[in-house]
Amino acid sequence: MSAGAPIRTFDAAAVAAQFPILQREIDGRRVVYLDSGATAQKPASVIEALDDSYRLHNANIHRGVYTLAQEATERFEGARERIARFIGARPSQTIFTKNVTEAINLVAYSWGRRNVGAGDTIVLTPMEHHANIVPWQQLAREVGARLAYVELAEDGRLDLDALDTLLKLEPKLVAVAHVSNVLGTRNPVEEIVRRAHAAGALVLVDGAQAVPHMAVDVEAIGADFYGFTGHKVYGPTGVGVLYGRRELLEAMEPFLTGGDMIGQVDFHESTWKELPWKFEAGTSPYIEATGLGAAVEWLDALGLDAVHAHEQELTRYALQALAEVPRLTIYGPAAEHRGAIVSFALDGVHPHDVAEILGREQICVRAGHHCAQPLMRRLGVPATTRASFAAHTTPAEIDVLVEGLARVRRIFEL
């Protein structure tokens, strides 16, 4: 099968064949990559797009009139158009950032410092990544606002009645993960947006763990801001995306200033370019953007509905298999409310030890607090081990994970 070719009947093993790194053997063992929640591996078509850009089309964008510069600009803006279609947005509302962390900081600075003041409330959830907590803490500290957190139900889902109670405080913003990077909880963002808007609040959605795994239509969701990170969507590092409602973006001041985002500069004042370039100061990650464009094109070829169905079935299989492991606790909701993530803890064994022993067999999982320390405190644990899945993950790899956990138990005589 050629790299990037459509797969009519979903076949995860055939998908895996498109990833050069997944063909590696280390110490005689094939890599079993179960850490896509941290970063996704790259299919050959994405690697080839990056290589092609560097080899044949590399020049700074938006400036040169020679052929190479025109080609680079066309590839960059063409990638923006593909990515905008992929998330149901318009190119003018699709802003390239370094990652979703920068996207959230952009909103916190450019929108937050003009619209949030002393005594105002910002609503968060305990399952947020630090990237969707710390910028709001900084904003609240600077302007005298306060943070309020929606309670979690026992199964790791949000308590929407608790949300309604907080919405009575008339918050300025609700910031929520589409999918938790620890619990895997798939939050009902459309319903959250509806309730928040009815209370007069805006909504920012962190889509880092959602966009690689399911069809996302930002306009259908109704979010005021939606961000995601390229390297988790099978694209390169160094590029992310922020979507925002046009009227909000137009009213916001730039987050970063300098070259390429200006309309005109005089000795004492400047004007800005129109959207989206107003928020893209300096030389943009134009090579990385073309790689992300290739990644979403590759995902489109697979079919996101097929990817989502495969990962849902795989997650259900993983939950059932891991539930059979003695003394193992799984965190988060049932499969029907969960993305492609399973976090767990083995009684009596530190999660880092679990991950280290699995790593000896080239089973790649993540251990730690997953940049979600408030959630760890809520769960009453210092850390968890996390397995996260992708389009290329197979049930056989889940079996290898379970076998690896059996070895951990033997080593610790559990």
Residues with a catalytic annotation lie at 371
Phi-psi region of 45 (alpha: psi -120 to 50; beta: other; left: phi over 0): alpha
Could you tell me the CA-to-CA distances from 29 to 22, 25, 193, 286, 357 in Å, in that order?
11, 5, 46, 37, 14
* Strand ranges, E, within 189-331: 202-206, 225-229, 240-244, 262-265, 270-272, 328-331
**In the structure encoding, which two tokens stand for residue 364, read together?**
């790649």
Separation between Cα atoms, residue 351 and residue 180, nearest integer Å: 19
- 407-413 — which CB contacts under 8 Å span 24+ positions? 407/357, 407/361, 408/346, 408/349, 408/353, 408/354, 408/357, 408/358, 409/325, 409/326, 409/327, 409/346, 411/357, 412/348, 412/349, 412/353
DSSP-derived letter for residue 254 is P
Kindly list the strands in the beta sheet with 173-177, ordered across the sheet, starting from the edge strand earlier in the chain. Answer: 94-97, 240-244, 225-229, 202-206, 173-177, 121-124, 146-149
Residue pair 366/190 in contact (Cβ under 8 Å)? The answer is no
DSSP state of 185: B
Question: How far is 36 from 389, CA to CA, in rounded Å?
Answer: 6
Structure tokens that stand for 98 in this block: 């370094």
Residue listed under structure tokens 């803490």:
137
Any residues with CB less than 8 A from the CB of 266 and at least 6 apart, and which?
none
